[in-house]
A and B are shown apart, each in its own frame.
Chain A
Amino acid sequence: MNGAADMGGMMGFGPVQPEPEHVRFHAAWEKRVLAMTLAMGATGQWNIDQSRSARESLPPPQYLAKSYYEIWLAGLERLMAERGLVSAEEIEAGRVLAPPKQLPRILKAEAVPAVLAKGGPTERETTQPARFKIGDRVRAKNMHPAGHTRLPRYVRGHVGIVELLHGMHVFPDASARGEAEQPQWLYTVRFAARELWGEAADPTLSVSVDAWDSYLEAA
């Protein structure tokens, strides 16, 4: 969806505020939100694309007004409410009002290192040849799906060059709908800044995005 999370090229947010390397959080509660999000994610009740979609499809006024971990909290609350794990009423009341659902998997402390080390690779077996090769000219489709997508608005309709091939990866647009993974070839496509931003753009700049096969057409 054309939501507020798709920020590339927006203006008016002011300067970037660098911080020392040891600063990872701005408040203690942010750590708990991070950890709860990771731990609930490990229960397998949703995938990473559903998790991103829950955050990124927040109404733009809310998304833009919230801090990063406030967005994560809102996403987590939404995912749990949709699945009947914790209701909106329970969140408002701040206490348990209904019995729990049985979850097949709970992340235990001793399992954390192994779960983090395993991660969640998204590359799948190659079942068909790639449609494009390195150096091919491709156009990012002018498409505006109402659901989750990973094709940023600022490249849509523009022509770039295939720079890298990454094998076949889980297709997030489908995965976010809870459908089968439908893996597709994943490419890195490089765009000249002047192609994206016009004549006044920095002539030394190129911008590369990772794009799934169905986001692209030959150009």
Chain B
Amino acid sequence: MELRVRALESILVEKGYVDPAALDVLIETYETKVGPHNGAQVVAKAWSDPAYRDWLRRDATAAIVSLGYAGRQGEHMVAVENTPDTHNMVVCTLCSCYPWPVLGLPPVWYKSAAYRSRAVIDPRGVLKDFGVTLPADKQIKLWDSTAEVRYLVIPERPPGTEGWSEERLAKLVTRDSMIGTGLARNPDEVSP
């Protein structure tokens, strides 16, 4: 593959279709700048600021843009909030739709046949693969992103975090907790 891809790139560059520097910028953007730390800011703000949380529930696209996270694969956002009764989980069974501006590129498993096939029929089995067990009576809402709407899960705020700053709260927010295949970290799992 390595050779085939390198040859294709040299063809595209020689034909003048791509600027090799643009390829480097694209990769650098998604390797270093855009990632789940963006989404963690959104969640931490929603946890700390009720007005922001309401805005996020009403118009997630605008609320997220207000923090500077916008654009490709996040044009139409919906935030879904976990509660004591309901757990939300997101999949794209057809391809790999994922909210890039807030979570970055999807993890390899998110794009895998194993996840795409099973999430909609056996989410508790999938959660077990992630070491997560939910109460048997908890409702599970699966969101299959079949259009250009992108879903962000707002995990439950862990107990024992009263009075924490947004910056400190953001450390509790994992990528998987914003997809719904994980939960937010407990306070004792992060340094103070």
**A residues bordering B, Cβ < 8 Å?**
5-11, 13-19, 21, 23-29, 31-36, 38-40, 43, 52, 55-56, 64, 68, 70, 73, 76-77, 85-86, 90-91, 94-96, 100-101, 103, 106-109, 111-113, 115-123, 150-152, 154, 164, 166, 169-170, 172, 186, 188, 190, 193, 196-197, 201-202, 204-212
Contacts and interface: CB of A to CB of B under 8 A. Distances in A.
Interface residues of B, number: 83
B105 A34 contact: yes
Contact of A169 (B2, B114, B147): B147
B165 interface: no
A207 B142 contact: yes
B130 A150 contact: no
A159 B145 CA distance: 18
B1 A27 contact: yes
B149 A186 contact: yes
Interface stretch (B46-54, B65-73, B154-162, B183-191): B65-73
Given A19-B109, A108-B19, 12 more contacts: A7-B117, A16-B109, A56-B95, A76-B8, A91-B8, A107-B19, A112-B26, A119-B72, A120-B72, A186-B147, A188-B149, A206-B141
B9 A8 contact: no
Nearest to B113: A13
Interface in B40-58: none
Contact of A18 (B4, B72, B109): B109
B17 A103 contact: yes
B116 A24 contact: no
Contacts of B145: 210
Contact of A85 (B17, B21, B140): B17
Chain B interface main SS type = mixed
Given A7-B117, A122-B148, A208-B143, A202 B27 contact: no
Contact of B23 (A18, A36, A169, A211): A36
A21 B174 contact: yes
Interface of B: 1-12, 14-19, 21-27, 29-31, 35-36, 70-76, 78, 91, 93-96, 104-105, 107-109, 111-124, 126, 129-130, 136-149, 174-176, 181
B23 A100 contact: no
B19 A16 contact: no
Across the A-B interface, the 4 shortest Cβ-Cβ residue pairs: A94-B7, A210-B147, A8-B93, A100-B15
Q: In this complex, which of A5, A85, A116 has the most chain B Cβ atoms within 10 angstroms of its Cβ?
A: A116
11 contacts: A16-B112, A18-B109, A35-B22, A36-B5, A70-B1, A94-B10, A103-B17, A112-B25, A115-B72, A169-B76, A204-B138
Contacts of A201: 121
B29 A113 contact: yes
Contact of B26 (A15, A35, A172, A193): A35
Contacts of B73: 119
Contacts of A28: 2
Contacts of A21: 35-36, 107, 174-175
